[in-house]
Amino acid sequence: MAYFDAASAAPLHPVARQALLASLDEGWADPARLYREGRRARMLLDAAREAAAEAVGCRADELVFTPSGTRAVHSGVAGALAGRRRTGSHLIVSAVEHSSVLHAAEVHEAGGGSVAQVAVDRTGAVDPTAYAAALRGDTALACLQSANHEVGTEQPVAEVAEVCRAAGVPLLVDAAQSLGWGKVPGDWSLLAASAHKWGGPSGVGLLVVRKGVRFAPQGPGDERESGRAPGFENLPAIVAAAASLRAVRAEAAAEAARLRELTERIRARVPAVVPDVEVVGDPVRRLPGTVTFSCLYVDGETLLHELDRAGFSVSSGSSCTSSTLMPSHVLKAMGVLSEGNVRVSLPPGTPAEDVERFLEVLPGTVAAVREKLGAPTTAQAAPESGGDLVVDALGRRCPIPVIELAKVIGDVPVGGTVRVLSDDEAARLDIPAWCEMRGQEYVGEEPAEKGTAYLVRRST
């Protein structure tokens, strides 16, 4: 089985396993106690903090360990906002932040605060000038991920940090996806990350608050981790997390170069061997091992199941693989195709042979899924007929509305329109994306008696 979902959780690094087992014997005592076992546990905790701080590029007393990366984000956002409440309650986030950041923003807004969401371009990147424009006199905090978790696009953190610093606004960086590859550049103020993203054990996050940043921890007070992460430290997991971060950093330069070559191979060959595919994300400024593409006329859940049967573990941002049946907020913000979305995120050590086998299996797998759904082929052409058409796709999930649109677009003359009726939220994203991919004009949407009517004008 080829595991291609490192962006969700990287396999446990061998160094993490060794450190975890060793610290289970040595680090079980309370590091706050003064007896021998407690002092031994404290030495392990201090050493782990020093190692993690060196990898981040901060002081050891600026870093605390949390029960998860999500907890680090929530604590960081809440504490920074509370610490600067006299300045105001305005929060800035990008439209493609991880759900942990967006959920924290929702809680802040529900409590009376205001939130500005900065848009991204079609590659998923923000423009630093957009952050500058969003800054206000009452802005308390800005948030920006270092790299996107779904499409791998790296963000201009240093430039945004400079803009925020000039305005006196702290910037919190979610570095979960990038910290294993290197330090986050720029003069940022707070940083959050998660150990299981770089090959450490799950259940360990880290939160960095630079000296001089006004910060007020929220919730009941606790004497542990500077009051910022209450509860008994999971010391064996913390030691393993720090050890694995140091290990992956030592291997990062060589492994990044190797994985970039493999993902470049995927980016180049998938559109060549699979018709009607859109490769998304920045082609240059991106994580070494992540590549994402979307396939027209494909049910994402079915495609992932078929790839799993073929021996490949991949993930998706497609609405069809979500329990909410809603399009990925990242793909939606980028304005790209969401149906049939596949994210390949290669863990360190991925054999080139596994990538080659994936590229051999993928075309037939996509073709089989399309055939089951009755999708049109690129060779199909229908004779023109007069008038406009209505496609009733109510009650049918994407990609079916898009498939039905593709089947009938040739039935109207150039300049004629097709009105697609759909009550699937994904259609709002996928129909315009289909139009851009196929050279047709997306006119817009309008309310219908049931659902929404999407208007498409035939251009070619």
CA distance 270 to 293: 8
Q: Which of 100, 99, 78 is nearest to 91 (CA)?
A: 78
Cβ pair 339, 399 in contact under 8 A? yes
Phi-psi region of 204 (alpha: psi -120 to 50; beta: other; left: phi over 0): beta
Round to whole Å and give the CA distance between 193 and 69: 5
Which tokens sit at 435?
């139009």
State how far Cα 22 lies from the chain centre.
Answer: 33
Q: Among residues 58, 295, 320, 435, which one is catalytic? A: 320
355 Cβ neighbours under 8 A, 6+ residues apart? 262, 265, 266, 346
Tokens of 66: 């949390």
Joined together, the tokens standing for residue 301 give: 């859940």
Q: What is the DSSP letter of 5?
A: B
C-alpha–C-alpha distance, residues 275 and 270, integer Å: 8
**DSSP letter (8 states) at residue 218:** -
Instruction: Assess contact for 400 and 369: CB atoms under 8 A.
Output: no
DSSP string, 339-378: TTEEEEEPPTT--HHHHHHHHHHHHHHHHHHHHHHTPPPT
**Burial of residue 341, with CB atoms counted within 10 A of its CB: 0-12 exposed, 13-18 middle, 19 or more buried:** buried
The helix/strand/coil state of 142 is strand
**Residue 320 appears among annotated catalytic residues:** yes
Neighbouring CB atoms inside 10 A of 359's CB total: 17
Please answer whether residues 134 and 161 qualify as being in contact, where contact means their C-beta atoms are separated by less than 8 angstroms. Answer: no
User: In this structure, what DSSP letter does residue 153 have?
Assistant: B
Annotated active-site positions, please? 320
